[in-house]
């Protein structure tokens, strides 16, 4: 597929994990990708691993989601290089290592997590909006199943939940210009964030499909929503989560080593 031939995509959090997979996917489908990240050295490594044509089209820009001037400068660099902007994918974010409010987390902890995971993506869209193709521009925000049900982490989950309604409001505001805004909400994905917790696979029994996600699973959904295949889809949150939101039966059956029809009622 070459759904992004001739198009420009701006991807935050592009240096590692899910963001790097989004870069690989959009590049493979023809996009010129701008990699925006605080970790520019790792972003350069992501670029170095791309095929030659994609590598020559790629641009790494420093970008800190928590700093409005940094986000705006990154966007200006992207537009200055390519003269157009078709897709914006906000992947940067993540849980910060602080306790929940009820366990002693401070107001500053809460503010930092919400700033990174909710205000940050809003900053990215604000900076991108004047430049996005009209019609045809697309924004995809990476949320989390934590924003859709209780999986722990109060500030992180509340911030990710905020993206759901942020996207609806932005979809209405930008829809009249033919710009779409959607959210992809991943379940557990195999990235470095699980390294200090013994890896993600111990969570696989919760998943009806029997495994955790790979970054490429999320990148495929992001590419769909950013492409013209989703041209009449806006304001939605697409869970990409191996069925974990279907309910607790998979975990119950596997943990109890019982038949999948087992229940507790
Ligand atoms: N891995 C999972 O299980 C999982 C599940 C659900 C949602 N998510 C979400 O997916 C996104 C990516 O997660 P990941 O697992 O790939 O993490 P990761 O740590 O591998 O990648 C995050 C990227 O964001 C960048 N980044 C961090 N802070 C930044 C900032 N202030 N400004 C700009 N860039 C910044 C990092 O340098 C890194 O490249 C996050 O928003 C996360 O909340 C991850």
Give 93-142 pLDDT, tens digit per residue. 999 999 999 999 999 999 999 999 999 999 999 999 999 999 999 999 99
Q: Looking at residue 252, what is its pLDDT?
A: 79
The residues near 165 (Cβ < 8 Å, ≥ 6 apart) are none
**Hey, which of 11, 41, 66, 92 would you mutate to test ligand 1's pocket, going by the most ligand atoms within 8 Å of its Cβ?**
92
pLDDT of 260 over the 70 cut: no
pLDDT of 226 over the 90 cut: yes
What does the pLDDT average to over 188-210? 95
pLDDT of 79 over the 60 cut: yes
Q: Which pair of structure tokens corresponds to residue 244?
A: 């974990």
> Is 160 among the residues known to form the active site?
yes
Residues in the ligand 1 pocket, defined by CB under 6 Å:
12-13, 15-19, 37-39, 63-66, 91-94, 116, 142, 144, 186, 188-189, 191-193
pLDDT band at 257 (very low <50, low <70, confident <90, very high): low
What does the pLDDT average to over 158-176? 98
Tell me how far the alpha carbon of residue 263 lies from the centroid of ligand 1, in angstroms.
35
DSSP 3-state helix, strand, coil percentages of the chain (rounded to 5)? 50, 15, 35
Q: Looking at residue 33, what is its pLDDT?
A: 98
Report CA-CA distances (Å) from 146 to 133, 155, 186, 236.
Answer: 31, 10, 9, 16
pLDDT band at 253 (very low <50, low <70, confident <90, very high): confident
Q: Using CA atoms, how far apart are residues 222 and 226, in angstroms rounded to an integer? A: 6
Looking at every residue in the chain, the average pLDDT score rounds to 95
Set 4, 156, 207, 224: catalytic member: 156
What does the pLDDT average to over 169-184? 98
Cα 194 to the center of its chain, rounded Å: 16
What does the pLDDT average to over 8-13? 98
- Give bridge partners of residue 227 from the DSSP assignment: none
pLDDT of 194 over the 80 cut: yes
What does the pLDDT average to over 188-212? 95
Domains of the chain (ranges; CATH) run: 8-198+212-243 (3.40.50.720)
pLDDT of 265 over the 70 cut: no
What does the pLDDT average to over 39-63? 97
Q: Looking at residue 254, what is its pLDDT?
A: 73
For residue 4, give the nearest of 71, 70, 82, 61 by alpha carbon.
Answer: 82
In the chain, % of residues over pLDDT 70: 96
Q: Looking at residue 171, what is its pLDDT?
A: 98
Q: Using CA atoms, how far apart are residues 224 and 217, in angstroms rounded to an integer? A: 11
Which residue do the tokens 């759901």 mark? 164
What does the pLDDT average to over 217-223? 98
Report CA-CA distances (Å) from 67 to 112, 154, 168, 248.
Answer: 12, 23, 24, 39
**Hey, which of 19, 47, 74, 121 would you mutate to test ligand 1's pocket, going by the most ligand atoms within 8 Å of its Cβ?**
19
- Contact assessment for residue 12 and residue 90, using Cβ atoms and an 8 Å cutoff: yes
Tell me how far the alpha carbon of residue 193 lies from the centroid of ligand 1, in angstroms.
8
> Is 207 among the residues known to form the active site?
no
């Amino acid at each position: 597929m070459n759904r992004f031939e001739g198009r420009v995509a701006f991807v935050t959090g592009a240096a590692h994990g899910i963001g790097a997979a989004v870069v690989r996917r959009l590049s493979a489908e023809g996009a010129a990708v701008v990699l925006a990240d605080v970790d520019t050295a790792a972003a350069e490594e992501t670029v170095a691993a791309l095929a030659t044509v994609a590598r020559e089209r790629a641009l790494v820009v420093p970008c800190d989601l928590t700093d409005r001037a940094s986000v705006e400068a990154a966007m200006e660099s992207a537009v200055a290089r390519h003269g157009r902007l078709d897709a914006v994918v906000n992947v940067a974010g993540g849980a910060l290592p602080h306790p929940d409010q009820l366990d002693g987390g401070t107001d500053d902890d809460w503010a930092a997590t919400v700033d990174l995971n909710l205000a940050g993506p809003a900053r990215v869209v604000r900076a991108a909006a004047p430049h996005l193709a009209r019609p045809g521009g697309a924004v995809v925000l990476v949320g989390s199943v934590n924003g859709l049900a209780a999986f722990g982490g109060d500030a992180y989950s509340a911030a990710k939940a905020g993206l759901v309604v942020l996207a609806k409001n932005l979809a209405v505001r930008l829809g009249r210009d033919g710009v779409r805004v959607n959210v992809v909400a991943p379940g557990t994905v195999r990235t470095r964030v699980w390294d200090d917790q013994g890896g993600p696979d111990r969570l696989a029994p919760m998943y009806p499909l029997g495994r955790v996600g790979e970054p490429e699973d999320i990148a495929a959904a992001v590419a769909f929503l950013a492409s013209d295949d989703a041209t009449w889809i806006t304001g939605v949150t697409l869970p990409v989560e191996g069925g974990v939101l279907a309910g607790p039966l998979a975990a119950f059956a596997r943990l109890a080593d019982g038949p999948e029809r087992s229940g507790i009622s």
